[in-house]
Chains A and B, each alone.
Chain A
Amino acid sequence: MKALIIAENQDAAAEMGAAARGFADEVVALGIGTDLAGVADKSLKVSVPDDRIVEDAWATVCAIADAEQPARVLVEPTTRLSGVAGRLAAHMGAAVITDVLALGPDGATSLYFGGAGERTVAPVGDVALCTVSRGVFDGAGTSGTDAVEEVAFVDPANPVVRVAAEPLEKSDVNLAAADVVVGAGRGFAEEDQLGLARDLAAKIGAEMACTRPLAEGSGWMPTESYIGVSGQMLSPKVYVGIGTSGQMQHMVGVNRAGAIFAVNKDKNAPIFKQCDYGLVGDLNTVLPALSAAL
């Protein structure tokens, strides 16, 4: 069986390459705008012109898939490549199984309703296309060719024109590597109050994180710091949720934590049913007292 891996980043390609070795006897890697070295038997690269978008590489990618005839396609789930995967799936009469957590003989498993369920699906046709989240497979020890063959980018009909681009400011948060994480939720009514959570985080050597509304609604925290189904999925040693109600969409991102602590003024908040230790109280008074007691 042949597998095709499509990635924008070497690390993601290494993880998917390692996974593909488990079921495929031939692995082809396709880097979009990047050289993928040491992950596959054959390595292809499509360079997207500066005034074009990655999604519009779909025409080129479909032609490569037609030539290679893979039975499995694994794609890195970036914003841009999700679009390429979707067009490739449409071309193949298939649908992409997204953000898979496990690949087995019966099918691929993803979260359903933000973690309310885990759903395993299988393709009706012969080809399975999956996007694979980072960290699901171990990319260490993958091997493959370092020779990269360039495939020319072909414009689709009516290409999108990339007029300008500005890099996003990279925040220095590295939540995935953090042992201890403090997550702030909607219980913080004012941005100033976040200082109380930061004081606590500093005291216990934690990284600061949040729920989606604090990153995308109010913009108080960087996008990379929100935990949940569409954000970061973490498994720290300790998670402290403050003013987080415990909604499924958030908790699915931390429910693999070693220990879960919760502070909330509402004693009926669902997080108290999902934590190891809870403290019911107003964060304005509780957090300074807690920081002092630590």
Chain B
Amino acid sequence: MQVVAAIKIVPDDQDIQVAADRSLDFSKARPVVSEYDLNALEAAVQLAAATGGSAIAVTAGAASIDDSKTKKNVLARGMEALYLTADDACADMDAYATAQVLAPMVEDLDGWDVVLVGDGSADLYAKQTGAQLAARLNVPYVAGAIALEEDGGSLKVRRKTEDEVEVLSVPLPAVVSVLPEAAAPRIPGMKDILAAGKKPMEAVALAEAPAAALEVVSCKAPVQAERAMEVYDATDDGAVEKFAAALKAAL
């Protein structure tokens, strides 16, 4: 089975700074694979291995996502190739725009059976790209997958909703969104990282700038509630008692 993982590269949220005017400063944040897309990469590799196929990754974003460390990190996780469109016309895309860029990248591949996406991206957590991509590709879409296996010409998916676990027979090709529990991300070894440098990395030029469906009106850090920040060291005499008294008083 030819498995495609469609992933997002985002600024590392550990390094987002909040400026005095509450605007967000990303200048110190390096590009990383969005956390739950690591699970999609691993699920893709496992499904490809179980079916004697191969897994490749596709991604699109601003020019800054073309970062050698990040690209190697993707390829070191068992991907056979990475197709990447890095263009500032793809900065900060909504799901409608993302699908416009990703769909032709998938269609131009030399055959594909299923596209896996992660549960949600670190920036928007909108869980929308999979559905938008499925609409563009005119294929079924299923979210919440926790287990995937080939079943004849279709894909057997166990997926979790708010109230049940469903067993689905998904005709291929299809787009499937996987929950983190579908596959735990591997930790690439030094050998994997070195080998990643020799794998194909295809820069895909953007044919046409995507049309956005949403425009950003404002984006600010929330006003933080003032907190007392009274911190005791438990080894100090009476610290636990003081903490307990404050807790009792607050109840």
Contact = CB atoms under 8 A, between A and B. Distances in A.
Number of chain B interface residues as a range: 35 or more
Most buried by A among B16, B144, B162: B162
A24 interface: no
Contacts of B122: 113-114
Interface string A280-291: 111001100110
A261 B243 contact: yes
8 tightest CB-CB pairs across the interface, nearest first?
A86-B131, A281-B234, A90-B135, A278-B231, A293-B244, A95-B213, A95-B96, A95-B94
A69 to B, nearest CB: 18
Contacts of A89: 95-96, 128, 131-132, 213
Interface in A85-100: 85-87, 89-91, 93-99
A48 B166 CA distance: 14
Interface of A: 53, 55-56, 78-80, 82-87, 89-91, 93-99, 106-107, 110-125, 156-168, 170, 180, 204-205, 216-217, 229-230, 237-238, 240, 248, 255-256, 258-261, 267, 272-282, 285-286, 289-290, 293-294
Contact of A277 (B163, B213, B246): B246
Interface of B: 13, 16, 18, 24, 94-97, 99, 119-120, 122-128, 130-132, 134-136, 138-144, 156, 159-171, 174, 179-181, 184, 211-222, 224-225, 227-235, 239-241, 243-244, 246-248, 250-251
A164 B17 CA distance: 47
B219 A90 contact: no
B128 A91 contact: no
A85 B126 CA distance: 11
22 contacts: A78-B161, A89-B213, A93-B213, A94-B213, A115-B222, A117-B222, A124-B214, A125-B213, A159-B140, A160-B169, A160-B174, A165-B166, A165-B167, A166-B164, A255-B224, A261-B247, A267-B231, A274-B224, A277-B231, A278-B229, A279-B231, A289-B234
Contacts of A121: 94, 214-217
Contacts of B139: 158
B216 A79 contact: no
Given A229-B125, A238-B247, A290-B243, 19 more contacts: A56-B140, A78-B162, A79-B143, A79-B160, A86-B127, A90-B131, A99-B125, A112-B24, A113-B16, A118-B220, A118-B221, A120-B216, A121-B217, A123-B215, A159-B140, A163-B156, A217-B184, A230-B120, A279-B232
